[in-house]
Amino acid sequence: MRPNKIKQMWRDKKCVTLGWLSVANTFTAEVMARQGFDALCVDLQHGLSEMSDVGPMLAAISQTDTVPVVRVAWNDPPAIMKALDLGAYAVIVPLVNNAEEAAKAVAACRYPPVGMRSNGPVRAAHYGGSDYVAKANDEIVVMAMIETKEGLTNLDAICATPGLDAVYIGPADLSFALGLPPRGDNPDPLHMATCDKIRAAAHKAGIKCVMHCASASFAAGAVKRGFDMVMLTADVACMVAGARQQLEELKAKSA
């Protein structure tokens, strides 16, 4: 089976860079995949993509060595299994509140006898290799998002879930949970301390911790703080920033 670069980098104690796809477009996916990210996520929760977009977008990503990732919209086993069958090598599951929900997500990502994933890797076997079914349990990464009050209360139990590879911090919803206005790259001391608490709990349990960022500067700080993966930027953010920069430069130089 094609090895999962995310797991390889984690074994080498390297931080993984993750890009984000909010636009449902194969060309956007291909262009982003060629920029040098270690992994790239198709967002089904808040992005414009539907499940029907996932297969073609993962095929576009797969022209490179960028690891294909999908964030599902909910902790829904059929959706998780479908994303995996289409070739996702990692799944991000949002709004995980307790160990039972974390175990449910893990089970959907693992074939029996350790999980309940149904056998039918219609595209995944072509992408992953002929021995996909035999080795997928060891290569597929499953990440549970910690972003709710209940999730924080049950943090240690979630991190101890057998088979869970990582917890993923959703900063905006975590802000809600802390009584703060939602934002990315939140510098509030309570938010920063809570993120560090989540990272420490994950590492204590022997799993990884991921920080969702909105800028290179904040992501660099997260790397220095010991996070194992950072989401750096998204297709929409890059498009907006690039267009705004060019317009501002034009206005400045033509004034």
Domains of the chain, first to last: 5-254 (3.20.20.60)
pLDDT at 192: 98
Rounded to whole angstroms, the Cα distance separating 232 from 211 reads: 9
pTM above 0.95, yes or no: yes
pLDDT at 58: 98
* Cβ-proximal residues to 40 (8 Å cutoff; 6+ apart), any chain: 18, 19, 20, 21, 29, 32, 33, 61, 66, 67, 68, 69
The token pair at 5 is 């670069």
Catalytic residue among 46, 191, 203, 212: 46
pLDDT at 64: 98
> Is residue 72 a contact partner of residue 91, using CB atoms and an 8 Å limit?
yes
> Is residue 6 a contact partner of residue 229, using CB atoms and an 8 Å limit?
yes
Question: Is 46 designated active site?
Answer: yes
* Per-block mean pLDDT, blocks of 10 residues, the chain (255 long): 98 98 98 98 98 98 98 98 98 98 98 98 98 98 98 98 98 97 96 98 98 97 98 97 98 96
pLDDT at 70: 99
pLDDT at 68: 98
Residue 98 CB neighbour total at 10 angstroms = 17
